[in-house]
Amino acid sequence: MVKNAMSTQSIRTRFLGTETSYSVSGAWLSYWILLLRLTAGWWMLHAGLDKIWAWPFDASWFVGGAAQGTILAPFVTPFSDGILLSFVNVAVPLGQTAIGIGLILGLLTRTAAFFGAYLMLFFYFINGYGGGWAHGMVTGELLGIMVFGTIVALGAGGVLAVDNRLREMEPFENTRLRRLLG
Amino acid sequence: MADKIAMYVGGGLVVLGVVVIGLLDMLLGAGHPVNSEGAIEHAAVVPIDIRAGIILLGLVVWGSVAVYKFAAGPAPTGTSAGQAPSGMDD
């Protein structure tokens, strides 16, 4: 008979003014956070590579068109032409690709997930407003923000991740830069 | 302190915008939530723009705290290679 080797972690903390304690399976937590990272990573990597494959990418329909009249318009529409549009046309595909690679490899995981959430914030509000919120306030994009937030909060770069090696390196050792890792 | 602002203010606004106002709309709003074309009708108690703004504000608070913690917070402590540091460790 094989013994169950899965360890259980006890979470005990004070949260929002109350004592909280519960148990989680360390093995399942690691497993699930890895799957979350790989899934979200491929989501971004695919989105980025798709745009690079079909280069040139033109985001003007989004930043200049779809964003019009939305709550983010004041921040987004200045990027709808000229050099700022050129920047967006390059930054979005490269950014999505970098986020995807970062999450899949567990490389600068927390940074990658932060920018994933940042990017998703634009998709959430612009698509939501553009569609009149016809699919409700909780959409795939909002859940995407929550997934990236989960990766940031749980330090998902600790599981089968390059970040484990980076933590041993001098620039990341006992410095604020460690926060960039998972 | 930054963590508390993120938890109470950021989380509070997101939960208010998504859940609390959603529940109020269900309880106090008029009509069936889905029209004949399958789209949700927002017979909103709180205007949809304000609701979206509340959620946006909550997300911006979370993001701002994350940036602040990186820029001004102390270095994470007590972690060794192979262990994932907590995001709420100070």
Q: Burial letters for A77-95: b for 16+ Cβ neighbours within 10 Å, e otherwise?
A: bebbeeeebeebbbebbeb
In whole angstroms, what is the distance from residue A92 CA to residue A117 CA? 13
Residues in Cβ contact with B29 at an 8 Å cutoff, skipping those fewer than 6 apart: B42, B43, B44, B45
CB contact under 8 A, B73 and A125: no
Between helix A140-154 and helix B48-72 the angle, nearest 10°, is 20
The pLDDT, as a whole number, for residue B82 is 45
CB contact under 8 A, B40 and A136: yes
The pLDDT, as a whole number, for residue A158 is 84
| pLDDT, tens only, B34-56 | 666 666 665 678 888 899 999 99
Q: What is the mean pLDDT of residues A135-162?
A: 90
In whole angstroms, what is the distance from residue B63 CA to residue A167 CA? 24
Q: What is the mean pLDDT of residues A76-105?
A: 91
CB contact under 8 A, B73 and A149: no
Question: What ipTM goes with this model?
Answer: 0.75
Q: What is the mean pLDDT of residues A41-54?
A: 92
The more confidently predicted of residues A106 and A26 is A106
Chain B partners of A141 at a C-beta cutoff of 8 Å?
Answer: none
Q: Is A143 on the interface with B (CB under 8 A)?
A: no
Above 90 in pLDDT, residue A134?
A: no
Share of chain A above pLDDT 70, in %: 97
The pLDDT, as a whole number, for residue B12 is 93
Chain B partners of A130 at a C-beta cutoff of 8 Å?
Answer: none
The pLDDT, as a whole number, for residue A4 is 55
What's the length of chain A?
182
pLDDT band at A5 (very low <50, low <70, confident <90, very high): low
Q: What is the mean pLDDT of residues A144-155?
A: 92
Is the omega angle on the peptide bond into residue A56 within 30 degrees of 0, that is, cis? yes
The more confidently predicted of residues A181 and B40 is A181
Closest by CA position to A130, among listed A182, A65, A57, A78: A65
Nearest CB neighbour to A128, from listed B52, B59, B84: B52
Best residue of A70, A137, A148 to probe chain B, by most B CBs closer than 10 Å? A137
In degrees, to the nearest 5, what angle opens at C-alpha A76 toward C-alphas A59 and B51?
120
Quote the mean pLDDT of chain B.
Answer: 77
In whole angstroms, what is the distance from residue A126 CA to residue A62 CA? 8
The more confidently predicted of residues A87 and B29 is A87
The pLDDT, as a whole number, for residue B90 is 37
Q: What is the mean pLDDT of residues A11-31?
A: 86
